[in-house]
């Protein structure tokens, strides 16, 4: 059933109200309850794995193998279930003699009712992984998946409705209007994954209520290839990272910065791997996804007019198909270098000195990911020390995402806040500092009259 905008608006307010009451009951904060809900979520995902894979295929033409990446949300659930009891423990800290007698503790407490807004490119995983953090930390949550991946959004809603009390966790499907209706409400935290442009809108709406935000955004993630490198492995790994999900991955290498000395050989290797992965005619490959919408297709296909085609270069609007493409002879002034590509086109820029490549990266907004392929430790270190990005993967692409112990998120224009593993729990928690003082002993040094105590305060302060 499709709801009218007015119905959606009142439903958003009603759900929030119900969730506020549920949160106030304290039920979501009980650790056993959280563990049970996480287990229910895991079972629900497992039961629907085939439906999820089918829906992602329907939305994005994603091959079955790649559609299974979505089910990786289960790894987040498993990790949270395994560690939750240690995460919820308050941390005891030692207090100084000036506080005697006292004990300091830091308690993780849930934030309340949180809003999760997700994009279409990994539509299931990017809705469910943040939800795992929200539940683990003891919150109630409303999830708003993307309207551009409607099949997956239906599965998410069905799963959430079948698994949770709507007063605890619920899902509202819809587009921009639904998102705006939700953003007009006062949540205790907003977790947004999407573009930098909409991230600004979300942050401005959140500011109205002083609601804290996590912003998982995008940007242009560079991939540097040094001349001293195992070229076949580097080429294979970066070709995979760029073209998986037809390039519609937030941490896909957006563009190549390659040392001139190895450029020709690298491009030849990439071309070879494209043939190996997708065959002579990638349009017929069962292993290559499609662009999500006509509008997105038109935006990305326009970039094919730049540079010199090394591989690919063709497209078919009726199929929303763009061949995996490598473009050489690109400059920073070309349109393809002005925005995040988010499609299967790899522009190539060349450098003679590493310092040039670093300067070019540093002259632009901080990226979500940065890749450096090099055998040389000194080169790896130089790039690590002289650039800033949400994360880095040395000698591979995308894989940094799959290590739950590595907090994931952007910096500057690529995002604010982190998640995955314990970072998800932390992002949905408030760490409350509590100083607990004994009443059985009371030092007199801070009370008036101050006469004769000046020396003491100076000693305490250390001047
Ligand atoms: P988007 O910003 O267009 O949309 C994301 C969500 O915001 C959707 O649910 C949409 O309904 C909602 N939305 C759209 N316009 C809105 C508005 N005016 N007001 C309020 N809500 C609005 O992003 P997208 O196209 O779905 O996803 C692609 C972008 O997401 C890329 O930039 C990509 O890099 C980024 N991304 C980032 C990560 C990450 O983890 N950092 C992961 C995936 C995608």
pLDDT value, residue 328: 98
Average pLDDT over residues 274-299: 96
Q: Which atom of ligand 1 is nearest the CA belonging to 218? A: 34
If one compares 443 and 9, the residue with the highest pLDDT of the two is 443
Contact 123, 59 (CB under 8 A): yes
Average pLDDT over residues 313-318: 97
Instruction: Please give the distance, rounded to the nearest whole angstrom, from the Cα atom of residue 199 to the centre of ligand 1.
Output: 8
Instruction: Please give the distance, rounded to the nearest whole angstrom, from the Cα atom of residue 398 to the centre of ligand 1.
Output: 19
pLDDT by residue (tens digit) across 218-236? 999 999 999 999 999 999 9
Residue nearest to atom 16 of ligand 1 (CA): 176
Instruction: Please give the distance, rounded to the nearest whole angstrom, from the Cα atom of residue 379 to the centre of ligand 1.
Output: 34
State how far the Cα of 96 lies from the Cα of 94, in Å rounded to an integer.
7
Asked whether the predicted pLDDT for residue 449 surpasses 90, the reply is: yes
Instruction: Please give the distance, rounded to the nearest whole angstrom, from the Cα atom of residue 194 to the centre of ligand 1.
Output: 3
Give residue 391's pLDDT band: very low, low, confident or very high (50, 70, 90).
very high
Instruction: Please give the distance, rounded to the nearest whole angstrom, from the Cα atom of residue 380 to the centre of ligand 1.
Output: 32
Q: Are strands 325-328 and 91-93 parallel, antiparallel or unpaired?
A: unpaired
pLDDT value, residue 291: 96
Give residue 370's pLDDT band: very low, low, confident or very high (50, 70, 90).
very high
* Spatial CA neighbour of 341 closest among 357, 354, 330, 351: 330
| Tokens standing for residue 256 | 């190549």
Give residue 459's pLDDT band: very low, low, confident or very high (50, 70, 90).
confident
- Share of residues in the chain with pLDDT > 90 (%): 94
pLDDT by residue (tens digit) across 145-192? 999 999 999 999 999 999 999 999 999 999 999 999 999 999 999 999
CATH number of 5-217+415-431: 3.40.605.10
CB-neighbour burial class of residue 114 (10 A; exposed 0-12, middle 13-18, buried 19+): buried
pLDDT value, residue 444: 86
Average pLDDT over residues 393-410: 97
State how far the Cα of 294 lies from the Cα of 307, in Å rounded to an integer.
23
pLDDT value, residue 3: 66
Q: How large is the C-alpha radius of gyration of the chain?
A: 25
Question: In what order do the strands lie in the sheet containing 113-117?
Answer: 169-171, 140-144, 113-117, 189-193, 213-216, 415-416
Instruction: Please give the distance, rounded to the nearest whole angstrom, from the Cα atom of residue 77 to the centre of ligand 1.
Output: 23
Q: Which atom of ligand 1 is nearest the CA belonging to 219? A: 34
Q: Which atom of ligand 1 is nearest the CA belonging to 147? A: 11
Instruction: Please give the distance, rounded to the nearest whole angstrom, from the Cα atom of residue 415 to the centre of ligand 1.
Output: 12
Pocket test for ligand 1, best of 128, 195, 401 (most atoms within 8 A of CB): 195
Average pLDDT over residues 412-433: 98
Residue nearest to atom 37 of ligand 1 (CA): 217
Give residue 5's pLDDT band: very low, low, confident or very high (50, 70, 90).
low
Instruction: Please give the distance, rounded to the nearest whole angstrom, from the Cα atom of residue 215 to the centre of ligand 1.
Output: 10
Asked whether the predicted pLDDT for residue 268 surpasses 70, the reply is: yes
Locus of tokens 């955004």? 217
CATH class of 222-409: alpha beta
Q: Which atom of ligand 1 is nearest the CA belonging to 197? A: 2
Neighbours of 376 (CB within 10 A): 14
Q: Which atom of ligand 1 is nearest the CA belonging to 410? A: 41
Average pLDDT over residues 310-332: 97
Residue nearest to atom 22 of ligand 1 (CA): 176
Locus of tokens 């904060």? 29
Residue nearest to atom 35 of ligand 1 (CA): 194
Residue nearest to atom 43 of ligand 1 (CA): 250
Pocket test for ligand 1, best of 60, 69, 72, 119 (most atoms within 8 A of CB): 119
pLDDT by residue (tens digit) across 195-213? 999 999 999 999 999 999 9
pLDDT value, residue 9: 74
pLDDT value, residue 201: 98
Asked whether the predicted pLDDT for residue 10 surpasses 90, the reply is: no
Q: Which atom of ligand 1 is nearest the CA belonging to 118? A: 9
Residues with CB under 6 A from ligand 1: 117-121, 126, 144, 146-148, 175-176, 179-180, 183, 193-195, 198, 201, 216-218, 250, 340, 342, 368, 410, 415
State how far the Cα of 26 lies from the Cα of 427, in Å rounded to an integer.
20
* Every domain of the chain and the residues it spans: 5-217+415-431, 222-409
Pocket test for ligand 1, best of 117, 176, 194, 389 (most atoms within 8 A of CB): 194
Pocket test for ligand 1, best of 116, 198, 205, 211 (most atoms within 8 A of CB): 198
Give residue 2's pLDDT band: very low, low, confident or very high (50, 70, 90).
low
Q: Average pLDDT over the chain, rounded to whole?
A: 96
Residue nearest to atom 26 of ligand 1 (CA): 119
pLDDT value, residue 54: 96
- Model confidence, pTM: 0.95
| Tokens standing for residue 370 | 């940065």
Instruction: Supply the residues annotated as catalytic.
Output: 216
Asked whether the predicted pLDDT for residue 57 surpasses 90, the reply is: yes
Instruction: Please give the distance, rounded to the nearest whole angstrom, from the Cα atom of residue 66 to the centre of ligand 1.
Output: 20
């Amino acid at each position: 059933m499709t709801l009218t905008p007015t119905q959606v608006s009142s439903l958003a307010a009603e759900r929030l109200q119900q969730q506020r009451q549920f949160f106030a009951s304290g039920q979501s904060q009980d650790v056993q309850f959280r563990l049970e809900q996480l287990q229910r979520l895991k079972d629900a995902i497992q039961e629907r794995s085939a439906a999820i894979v089918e829906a992602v295929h329907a939305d994005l033409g994603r091959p079955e193998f790649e559609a299974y990446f979505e089910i990786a949300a289960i790894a987040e659930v498993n990790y949270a279930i395994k560690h939750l009891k240690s995460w919820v423990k308050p941390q005891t800290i030692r207090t100084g003699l000036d506080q005697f007698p006292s004990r300091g503790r830091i308690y993780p407490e849930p934030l309340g009712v949180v809003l999760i807004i997700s994009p279409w490119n990994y539509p299931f995983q990017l809705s469910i992984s943040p939800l795992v953090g929200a539940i683990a930390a003891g919150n109630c949550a409303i999830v708003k998946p993307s309207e551009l991946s409607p099949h997956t959004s239906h599965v998410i809603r069905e799963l959430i409705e079948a698994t949770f009390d709507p007063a605890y966790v619920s899902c509202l499907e819809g587009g921009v209007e639904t998102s705006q209706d939700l953003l007009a409400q006062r949540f205790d935290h907003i977790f947004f994954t999407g573009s930098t442009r909409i991230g600004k809108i979300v942050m401005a709406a959140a500011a109205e209520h002083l609601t804290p935000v996590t912003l998982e955004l995008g940007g242009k993630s560079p991939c540097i290839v040094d001349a001293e490198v195992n070229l076949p492995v580097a080429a294979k790994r970066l070709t995979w990272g760029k073209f998986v999900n037809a390039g519609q991955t937030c941490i896909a290498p957006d563009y190549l910065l390659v040392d001139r000395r190895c450029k020709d050989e690298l491009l030849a290797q990439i071309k070879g791997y494209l043939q190996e992965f997708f065959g002579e005619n990638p349009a017929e490959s069962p292993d290559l996804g499609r662009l999500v919408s006509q509008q997105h297709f038109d935006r990305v296909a326009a970039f094919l007019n730049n540079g010199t085609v090394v591989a690919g270069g063709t497209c078919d609007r009726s199929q929303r198909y763009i061949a995996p493409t490598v473009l050489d002879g690109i400059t920073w002034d070309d349109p393809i270098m002005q925005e995040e590509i988010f499609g299967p086109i790899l522009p190539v820029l060349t450098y003679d000195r590493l310092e040039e490549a670093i300067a070019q990266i540093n002259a632009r907004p901080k990226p979500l990911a940065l890749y450096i392929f090099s055998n040389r430790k000194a080169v790896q270190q130089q790039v690590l020390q002289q650039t800033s990005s949400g994360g880095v993967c040395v000698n591979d692409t995308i894989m940094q995402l799959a290590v739950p112990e590595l907090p994931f998120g952007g910096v500057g224009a690529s995002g604010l806040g982190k998640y995955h593993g314990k970072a998800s729990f932390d992002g949905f928690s408030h760490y409350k500092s509590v100083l607990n003082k004994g009443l059985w002993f009371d030092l007199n040094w801070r009370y008036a009259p101050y006469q004769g105590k000046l020396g003491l305060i100076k000693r305490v302060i250390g001047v």
